[in-house]
């Protein structure tokens, strides 16, 4: 049967090239199932198809080359949520939606154009197009690339391609190719900010205007043009044979992007026409933290630093962790138990915290051994640069740089120590941290938290996998928010009977979705907005695309006349305010530090890692909800933009002069991400001290927490802030207090970015003493 089908398809392919047929109209009511005759809609020539294709253990929905034996996928819907059940169908519903229908009865939107669909076509170019009733294109796959580009498809400024997780799994992997609005086409690891230090390839067309576009032609010409459609740069010259050839540009699993050709006549295989790099160690992050890339001929291999082992032998990008438990470090006798191993010809990202000019590498080793903060060092040209773990972006290269790594003399492999899944929000994890007296060197803690925190997105991909592997049902939630009718939500909340709380934007009610029995929180937006439906839906899409374990997930919305409602996942443990202020709930110091890191990770994601930058504008303990494991999740993000900015403004002014609100709100200064950093600083103070930022039950000098905190800090009396009954690591307390005081600087430019905040919370960077939060103002 398969062979027969293949024969049919390949003959269709040949005839398709000879005579162009007009594309089939896929009409409302059409459907596909993964098994059986109609698993896809073919393009007229049979080269491309839209429909189900097989992934490792699951079905995916997307566009693939049906006319060749390899069935190469070129576009994937809902990338991170493959489908496990065979009892599903893709339906172009009679009400004009393209949906995936599951046996559980819940629909997943496959693509979501802003208007109802009237028909669809799978074109021979590989473009899947949706039309409205007057045959206008309302959505096309060419405008929403995933990991590949086909001839005549463009990657326009602001768009990016993301590699697949593996050859057999098209969910989001760990590398990106970004067409930047500064004209440069750049490759970065996923999860790293768009900065020169994290880039590993660039077209070098920076400054060629805001609308530079990457184009591919059907003769294999791959090039960049500017907004006046002038050639800016050729990547691959054209002029390759066109006849019976298929070209495809793809960012591969290994992070390199390549232009492939496929000859239907000869060879019947994909061959590389052009590639962004021939050095397969170039892509940064391939080997994860503390790992480095080596190659013999063209075979790459990842290795760990001496004294380290792979977190998971099969997944290089998860990096390496110490194979021993570090004990306390005492600078006077640190060489009793530690020694230095040398690693020649390797280069790393330089995160020097202190540099010393020394003569020899042995001197450098001695200097590092005597400094408890020094976990590794780089020695080059007489300079000894001290580093903290993790070391990143390592690769072997002919270079005089020598990496020095501090290792334990009696290194014993203790595999039981490090939890294999650092992402689960478990309380035990906190206890794993090795508490160290004296100068704290929480190597494990850093490792665990860095893995969990900085590369959130990379791990998110990994988390998705964990979820989808073990809990098939969960993936239903991982999709775009669903539209509800008002009647549905009225019924789900039992006519808005149980009010959970009331915020600036309206009241929140508890509800149960009838089809899935899922408990949800339904937010009724009160201030009816001037915004039209389109803007509302656009904003909802942005919010719906944010997925992070420390953000409350938006499950659905309702847009019914003037009524606007939002449906969120339900958080059973109330808000951070409840947790901090009720003595019986009081989290331990360790738990509080973890909560702070989690919140910072969530804000960082909003600021730097999600598709569109989101400024929260209203970070406060009431907006941070706690799930059943007391893992914090930020709620209400995106609402500031959804509702009119003015409303946020009025809402903030009546709150008085102090609180979680940054001074720029009432100073006619532009509000940037730094406003959230300010609010985070206040929340951090509240977490540290387990009290409200403004509490007039305290004496006058203590009522305003930020003022009192700075007084205590200056006077060296931080213990006053936490009370006597609690066991607190004073060094960590001082660190946290310094971070908070930097965050609440009146001058936004003095506040650190969230990325920096997270690094400081993790203990990977030094923190200078903060000035008085108001010093800048009083001096101007």
Distances (CA, A) of 450 to 112, 195, 444, 589, 748: 35, 19, 10, 19, 26
Buried b / exposed e along 515-540 (16+ C-beta atoms within 10 A)? eeebebbbbbbeeeeebeeeebbebb
Report the DSSP beta bridge partners of residue 377. 386, 404
Contacts of 608 (CB under 8 A, 6+ apart): 193, 753, 754, 755
The answer to whether the CB of 114 falls within 8 A of the CB of 96 is no
Q: HSE of 397 in the Cβ direction (CA atoms, 13 Å)?
A: 12
The answer to whether the CB of 194 falls within 8 A of the CB of 200 is no
155: nearest Cα among 72, 251, 244, 52: 251
Helices (DSSP H) in 501-588: which residue ranges?
Answer: 533-544, 576-581
Distances (CA, A) of 362 to 169, 336, 348, 376, 382: 47, 16, 20, 13, 11
CA–CA gap between residue 487 and residue 658 (Å, rounded): 41
606: nearest Cα among 594, 597, 614: 614
SS3 state of residue 406: strand
Q: Which is nearer to ligand NAG, 538 or 772 (CB)?
A: 538
Q: Which is nearer to ligand NAG, 25 or 114 (CB)?
A: 25
The answer to whether the CB of 516 falls within 8 A of the CB of 525 is no
DSSP 446-458: HHHHHHHHTTHHH
**What is the C-alpha end-to-end distance of the chain, expressed in Å?**
81
The least distance separating ligand NAG from the CB of residue 408, rounded to whole angstroms, comes to: 8
618 included as an active-site residue: yes
Q: HSE of 85 in the Cβ direction (CA atoms, 13 Å)?
A: 16
CA–CA gap between residue 202 and residue 276 (Å, rounded): 9
366 is in an annotated binding site: no
Q: How many CB atoms within 10 Å of residue 471?
A: 9
Strand order in the sheet with 48-54: 40-42, 48-54, 59-65, 73-76
Judge if the upstream peptide bond of residue 390 is cis by omega within 30 degrees of 0.
Answer: yes
As to burial, measured by CB atoms within 10 angstroms (0-12 exposed, 13-18 middle, 19+ buried), residue 688 is buried
Q: Which is nearer to ligand NAG, 243 or 332 (CB)?
A: 332
| H/E segment holding residue 443 | helix 443-453
Note the residues at the interface with ligand NAG (CB under 6 A): 22, 25, 36-37, 87, 103, 119, 135, 165-166, 209-211, 221, 226-228, 230, 234, 237-239, 263, 266-267, 269, 271, 312, 314-315, 327, 330, 332-333, 336-337, 410, 438, 462, 465
As to burial, measured by CB atoms within 10 angstroms (0-12 exposed, 13-18 middle, 19+ buried), residue 477 is middle
The least distance separating ligand NAG from the CB of residue 34, rounded to whole angstroms, comes to: 12
DSSP 121-164: EE-TTS-EEEE-TTS-EEEEGGGS-SSEE-TT-EE-TT-EEEEE
Backbone angles phi, psi at 760, to 5 degrees: -70, -40
Sign of CA dihedral 179, 182, 188, 192: negative
The least distance separating ligand NAG from the CB of residue 237, rounded to whole angstroms, comes to: 4
The answer to whether the CB of 108 falls within 8 A of the CB of 78 is yes
The answer to whether the CB of 335 falls within 8 A of the CB of 397 is no
Residue 360 DSSP one-character state: S
CA angle 26, 541, 621 (to 5 degrees): 155
SS3 state of residue 475: helix
Q: Of 371, 618, 636, 746, which one is the catalytic site residue?
A: 618
The catalytic site residues sit at: 618
The annotated binding site is made up of 524
The annotated binding site for ATP is made up of 524
């Amino acid at each position: 049967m398969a062979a027969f089908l293949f024969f049919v398809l390949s003959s269709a392919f040949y005839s398709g090239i000879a005579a162009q047929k007009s594309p089939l109209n896929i009409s409302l009511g059409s459907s596909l199932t993964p098994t059986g005759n109609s698993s896809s809609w073919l393009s007229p020539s049979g080269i491309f198809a839209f429909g189900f294709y097989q992934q490792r253990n699951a079905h995916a929905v997307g566009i693939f080359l049906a006319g060749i034996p390899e069935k190469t996928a070129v576009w994937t819907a809902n990338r991170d949520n493959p489908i496990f059940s065979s009892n599903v169908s893709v339906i172009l519903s009679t009400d004009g939606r393209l949906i995936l229908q599951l046996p559980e009865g819940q629909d997943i939107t496959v693509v979501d154009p802003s208007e109802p669909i009237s028909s669809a076509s799978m074109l021979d170019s590989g473009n899947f197009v949706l039309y409205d009733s007057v045959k206008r294109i309302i959505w096309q796959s060419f405008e929403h690339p995933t990991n590949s580009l086909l001839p005549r498809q463009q990657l326009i400024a602001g768009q990016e391609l993301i590699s697949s997780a593996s050859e057999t799994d098209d969910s989001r992997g760990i590398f990106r190719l970004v067409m930047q609005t500064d004209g440069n086409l750049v490759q970065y690891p996923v999860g790293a900010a768009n900065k020169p230090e994290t880039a590993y390839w660039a077209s070098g067309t920076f400054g060629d205007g805001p609308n530079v576009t990457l184009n591919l032609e059907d003769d294999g010409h791959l090039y960049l043009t500017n907004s006046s459609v002038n050639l800016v740069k050729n990547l691959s010259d054209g002029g390759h044979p066109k006849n019976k050839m298929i070209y495809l540009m793809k960012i591969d699993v290994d992070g390199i992007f390549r232009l492939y050709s496929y000859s239907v006549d000869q060879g019947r295989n994909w061959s590389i026409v052009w590639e962004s790099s021939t050095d397969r160690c170039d892509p940064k992050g391939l080997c994860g933290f503390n790992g480095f890339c080596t190659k013999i001929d063209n075979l790459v291999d990842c290795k760990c630093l001496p004294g380290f082992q792979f977190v998971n032998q099969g997944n290089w990008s998860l990096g390496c962790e110490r194979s021993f438990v570090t004990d306390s470090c005492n600078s006077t006798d640190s060489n009793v138990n530690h020694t230095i191993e040398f690693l020649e010809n390797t280069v790393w990202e330089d995160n020097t915290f202190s540099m010393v000019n020394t003569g020899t590498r042995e001197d450098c080793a001695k200097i590092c051994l005597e400094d408890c903060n020094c976990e590794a060092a780089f020695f080059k040209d007489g300079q000894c640069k001290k580093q903290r773990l993790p070391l990143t972006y390592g690769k072997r290269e002919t270079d005089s740089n020598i990496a020095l790594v501090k290792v334990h003399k009696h290194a014993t492999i203790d595999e039981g120590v490090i939890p294999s899944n650092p992402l689960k929000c478990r309380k035990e994890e906190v206890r794993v941290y090795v508490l160290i007296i004296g100068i704290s060197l929480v190597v494990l803690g850093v490792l665990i938290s860095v893995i969990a925190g900085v590369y959130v997105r990379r791990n998110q991909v990994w988390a998705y996998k964990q979820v989808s592997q073990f809990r098939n049902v969960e993936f239903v939630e991982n999709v775009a928010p669903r539209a509800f009718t008002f009647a549905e939500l009225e019924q789900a909340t039992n006519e808005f009977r149980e009010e959970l709380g009331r915020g600036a934007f309206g009241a929140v009610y508890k509800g149960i979705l009838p089809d899935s029995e899922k408990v949800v929180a339904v937010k009724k937006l009160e201030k009816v907005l001037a915004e039209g439906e389109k803007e509302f839906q656009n904003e909802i899409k942005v919010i719906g695309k944010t997925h992070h374990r420390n953000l409350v997930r938006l499950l659905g919305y309702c847009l019914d006349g003037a009524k606007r409602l939002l449906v969120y996942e339900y958080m059973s443990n109330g808000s951070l305010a409840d947790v901090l202020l009720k003595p019986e709930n009081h989290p331990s110091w360790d738990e509080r530090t973890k909560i702070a890191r989690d919140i910072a990770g969530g804000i960082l994601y909003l600021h730097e890692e999600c598709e569109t930058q989101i400024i929260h504008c209203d970070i406060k303990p009431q907006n941070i909800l706690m799930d059943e494991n007391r893992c914090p999740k930020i709620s209400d993000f995106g609402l500031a933009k959804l509702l009119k900015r003015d409303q946020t403004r009025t809402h903030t002014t009546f709150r008085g002069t102090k609180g979680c609100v940054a001074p720029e709100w009432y100073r006619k200064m532009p509000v940037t991400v730094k406003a959230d950093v300010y609010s985070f600083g206040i929340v951090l103070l509240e977490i540290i001290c387990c009290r409200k930022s403004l509490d007039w039950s305290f004496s006058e000098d203590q009522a305003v927490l930020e003022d009192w905190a700075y007084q205590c800090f200056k006077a060296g009396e931080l213990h006053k802030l936490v009370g006597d009954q609690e066991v607190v690591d004073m060094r960590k307390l001082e660190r946290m207090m310094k971070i908070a005081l930097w965050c609440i600087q009146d001058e936004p430019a003095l506040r650190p970015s969230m990325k920096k905040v997270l690094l400081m919370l993790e203990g990977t960077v030094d923190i200078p003493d903060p000035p008085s939060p108001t010093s800048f103002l009083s001096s101007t």
